Chain A
Amino acid sequence: MDSSIDTSLPTEVAEGIQALKNYFGADYASVLSEVTPRHGELSSFDLILPTDYLDVDRILQIGFPRTFPNKGLNLSLIPSPGLDWPHNLNETLCLFGIGQNPPYGNSVDVVIETMIRLGDLIKVVIKDGDSAGLLKEFQSEITNFWQHQLSRANQQLILLNLPESSCELMALSDQRWRPSLGEQYVWLGRTAESIQNHLRRLSSDTNFKINAPGKAAYYIVLATIPNVKIPKPSNLVDWLKPHVTEAESTSFNKWLKESSGYPLRWVVLKLPDSSIVLQAIGLRQNGLKPSSSITYGKRADKRFGNNRKQNLSGSLSYTPVHVIDPALIHSRNPTYKTSVTNTKKVLMVGVGSLGSKVTLELIKEGVEHIHLVDPDFLADANLGRHILGADDLGRNKAVALREMINRDMPLVKVTINDDFLETVVLDKPSFLEQFDLIVITTANAWSEAFLWRTFKSKGAKWALVQAWSEPYAFVGHALAAPIEQSADATSLFDASGNFKYAFTEFPDHGHIPLPGCGIGFVPGGPLGLSQIAAMTTQLALDCLVDKVKQPTWRYWIGNSTLAAEYKGKYIGPATDGAISATFSKTWPGCST
């Protein structure tokens, strides 16, 4: 260890200092000097940097914080280059972007990684350096730079469906009473109808109508990235002009003039990249305080549209923008092609503890058309394993689940029947024909047999998945019959509806009676049900994408040894110590 290093420093810091000196070699003292510790740092250095592309000589202040190396080196440039250097934000040099994550590891790792990343940066900012690389670095974090220059607006935007090209957007303020949000949300849509439909789903008000929505936003698809420096409002058109087509620029300019009566407007920029990165800039008229909220209601255009202003003055702000679009929502789950799953219609028969989970997972996997059938009501004892919550107690499960889906995944088209399936079909015999897949999780022998015997055994085209959990949810089963194939699984069950190939045995078949006629429950915890739901969802999706070619039986076996604790017995296949395993087979004693 270098004798000049303070021995009272923590070992990690001393090693970090040594690594820093070693990195620069024998000549380190020419450019690296220790200074009085700054801002509570344990040790601080000044590093002389090469003259930069602006012909400015800068010092990099390097500090070892008290929590080094868990917290990396503090880095700041003197004089600060402001927006002239990439990665320099809030007077701090942030090297995350270069390596995506902050430098991590032990003291030496952190120092060396920091210096490597600094080297990457120096290569582009050094005098006569890589100017193309400099531009690329700026552009790779352009949104940070823009945001850094703008004050944060008191709104957030939700864009409903991503337009394919530059266009005017309608705006409607979210006027639901949600005080905990603390700021205003505004929906943006290509048409009034798109917002109207969204609101209808959210409010379950099918008569909701928007008369004259405010044309308070504009969506611009950028061909290239505009300058890092945000312009004055009056120069906004010029700032964007080189990065859009002539026609787009003209349209945008026209919108700017026509919408000048709106006290608050937004320009939503889509960056030129294959991924969807949007940046919204708010245009606030002079006199409107940043904290002021403007509500754009159903008739906003009548109120603000004709009050045009001559000059584009005021101020710009940064407004977070979110997108509700399937392409974005499902962009991170590639297991099943949503282009296939989103065309299929699925009927969920029973949305209890198991069916509700399967419903939600199917939606997350891209199913956009789903019908829920369940006559049951949410009870307090359901809360421990159902996806619905206390606000829905006493409500029909299908109704409540539809509301939840409309709120959380608003692009999904959910329809329901709060009745028994048999009743629904009796009312409309062709009801089932619209579906590609029926998933039944009622664990009710009658409704199951109704589907198998009445339809599937007689050539119904839809695929059918029947799933259930054995008592205590140590074992779960799912039986599937493929699309276009006749099948009947009723022979796999005894006259009471119990599966002949069950793997566990419990007193009274695991049924716990409750005071009341026919009232009782089968115990089973949420963890086991989640596993069975996952298995069922996977089988359902396999059916949807036509991967299931024959009657298929999947079963999941959890920690079967626990059955004994509930006076039960595991009688299934040996699991060889597995405590959670899924198996796939053809139906036992297959009777296709």
Chain B
Amino acid sequence: MTTEFDHLLKERNIVSLASKDPTQIDAWERILIKASEHLSLTEPQYKLICDRYETLQGILNASTDPILRDAHIFVQGSIGLQTTIKPASNATGEMATIDADAIILLPYVGSATSEQVLMAIEKRFRDASRVDAPIKPLRRGIRMVYADENPGFHMDITPARTCSGNTDNKGYGFLDVPDRVTGWKGSSPRTYSQWLESISQQQIKIAMDRSESIALAEATQDPMPHYDKYASGNPLRVAIKLIKRSRDEWAITSRKIDVRPISAILTTLAALAYQEVVQESRYQEIRAIDAIFKIVQKMPKFIRIMNGEFKVLNPIDSRENFAEKWNRPHGEGYAYARAFFDWYSAACDAFSVGFIQADTPKQLEDALLMKFGIPVSRTQDWMSTTPRNWTLPGRRAGVTLNTISTAGLLGSGYAQAKSQASIEPVRRLG
């Protein structure tokens, strides 16, 4: 099955920037970054989710269950990596709520089985009177759905224990997570996040305030990434957010929601690509849009096929293959793999849409709506604030706000209309 995809596992050129109008490249980069900001959580939204983590920590602290003693909740996934995006406006079901994940490190699991741990967690949160969110059991944890919040979000909580030999008490290193089907299963969510963070920091130099970090570290709950840091994008975060949203829009419009590429795959591939971009940039400085494009271009080359199986491994824990589902039998895995490559093709188009050469702004507005879910009014706002002598994204070279405005004011309408100034004055005196 994998051979069908062999030829796709390589770098793909989205568009040759060298052939494009330099000001249009500037303008499209600006739009992409703005689009990424638009997809990001706002500060109040971020704080709302933060507050929920604190609530959950409080619930755990009040537990008398020995399994949950000194339980330590920490952020996982996109919230920790600062690549969370708002749900697409046309999304339904779980896609309509923000995905906020957490790991609960349990230092005193002892010999408890994975099922016992999962039951303890579920029971604790069900018992906690303050929790009014519905709880849904997941294969490796529970899901608490805060659908009535604004924005609505769901939190997937995965309990974990440290592997034998791992003495870290902050959740780093190898962990085991309970799986309702296979029992304890190896995972390294915290170290994975650390790895992603270290890669993203290779370009971005926004350091957290140390005193703040120390103060927050006093709490049992790990500090949430500071908002400023969260909101300020770097090429990797910009790319990941746009990639994820393009995935969502593609999945919705092509009705492939169930088999859509999971965020862990997209994020891992993007991070690996970025790692290479950083290396390349040591020899030649590149701009943000170059980096974003290269990230997308390089993603497929980090998908491995080994022994007829797709591998997108957790880079710091090869026990974990994020593309595990792609290898499922009976054609089920094929659908996942096919979905990835179909989405990827659509994503390449999405990222290059700023270079279509249309006669009106509508095509770009429609494309940004269809491919990234950007409202037309928002696109219009961004376009209207483009520096006036830059070629506009989605337009022919040389078409700028200045040329459009000048054409409107001094073009055919101006030339053809008959001005009242040429009308002779009324020949009457009064």
Contacts and interface: CB of A to CB of B under 8 A. Distances in A.
A521 B261 CA distance: 111
Interface in A99-132: 99-101, 103-105, 109, 112-113, 115-120, 122-123, 126-127
A99 B413 contact: no
Contacts of A123: 410
A27 B407 contact: yes
Contact of A30 (B404, B409, B412): B404
Interface stretch (B17-25, B32-40, B383-391): B383-391
A49 interface: yes
B409 A118 contact: yes
Contacts, number: 98
A390 B407 CA distance: 65
A31 B405 contact: yes
B417 interface: yes
Contact of B406 (A47, A57, A109, A122): A122
B198 interface: no
A22 B412 CA distance: 11
A23 B408 contact: yes
Contact of A47 (B405, B413, B420): B405
A26 B405 contact: no
B389 A51 contact: yes
B419 A99 contact: yes
Interface residues of B, number: 30
B277 interface: no
Given A112-B413, A122-B409, A29 B361 contact: yes
B380 interface: yes
Contact of A50 (B387, B406, B425): B406
B26 to A, nearest CB: 15
A112 B406 contact: no
A48 B419 contact: no
A48 B421 contact: no
A88 B409 CA distance: 18
A424 to B, nearest CB: 39
A31 B408 contact: yes
A245 B371 CA distance: 71
Nearest to A22: B413
B44 interface: no
Interface string A559-579: 000000000000000000000
Contacts of B384: 30-31, 33, 46, 48
Given A30-B401, A51-B402, A24 B408 contact: yes
Contacts of A127: 402
Of B362, B406, B408, chain A has the most CB atoms within 10 Å of the CB of B408
B392 interface: yes
B182 interface: no
Contacts of B425: 100
A29 B380 contact: yes
Nearest to B395: A30
A25 B417 CA distance: 13
A98 interface: yes
B411 interface: yes
Contacts of B209: none
A112 B383 CA distance: 26
B307 interface: no
Interface string A204-248: 000000000000000000000000000000000000000000000
B414 interface: yes
Given A31-B401, A33-B384, A57-B388, A122 B412 contact: no
Nearest to A58: B388
B360 interface: yes
B408 A33 contact: no
B402 to A, nearest CB: 5
A113 B419 contact: yes
Interface residues of A, number: 39
A105 B418 CA distance: 13
B408 A51 contact: no
A127 B401 CA distance: 13
Interface in A303-346: none
B212 interface: no
B405 A116 contact: no
A25 B361 contact: no
A186 B408 CA distance: 51
A117 B421 CA distance: 9
B413 A23 contact: yes
A28 B387 CA distance: 17
B359 interface: yes
Interface string A2-40: 000000000000000000001111111111110000000
B409 to A, nearest CB: 5
Contacts of B404: 27, 30-31, 48
A25 B405 contact: no
Contacts of A24: 408, 413
Contact of A122 (B388, B389, B410): B410
A165 to B, nearest CB: 34
Contacts of B405: 31, 47-50
A291 B361 CA distance: 57
Given A29-B361, A48-B388, A99-B420, A116 B414 contact: yes
A117 B419 contact: yes
A48 B401 contact: yes
A48 B419 CA distance: 22
Given A27-B407, A51-B389, A119-B410, A113 B402 contact: no
B406 A103 contact: no
A47 B401 CA distance: 10
Contacts of B389: 51
Nearest to B377: A33
A126 B388 CA distance: 12
A105 B409 CA distance: 20
A129 to B, nearest CB: 10
B408 A116 contact: no
B207 to A, nearest CB: 35
Nearest to A29: B361
Contacts of B411: 25
Contact of B420 (A27, A101, A119): A101
Contacts of A122: 406, 409-410
Contacts of B408: 23-25, 27-28, 31-32
Given A24-B408, A119-B409, A30 B383 contact: yes
A104 B401 CA distance: 29
A112 B413 CA distance: 8
A123 to B, nearest CB: 6
B410 to A, nearest CB: 5
Contact of A113 (B406, B407, B420): B420
Nearest to A98: B421
11 contacts: A23-B417, A25-B413, A27-B360, A30-B401, A46-B384, A48-B405, A98-B421, A113-B419, A116-B419, A122-B409, A126-B406
The 8 closest A-B CB pairs, nearest first, are A99-B421, A24-B408, A119-B414, A23-B413, A116-B419, A50-B402, A50-B406, A119-B409
Given A29-B380, A48-B405, A57-B387, 11 more contacts: A24-B408, A25-B408, A25-B412, A31-B408, A33-B381, A48-B388, A100-B421, A100-B425, A113-B417, A117-B419, A120-B421
Interface of B: 359-362, 380-381, 383-384, 387-389, 392, 401-402, 404-414, 417, 419-421, 425
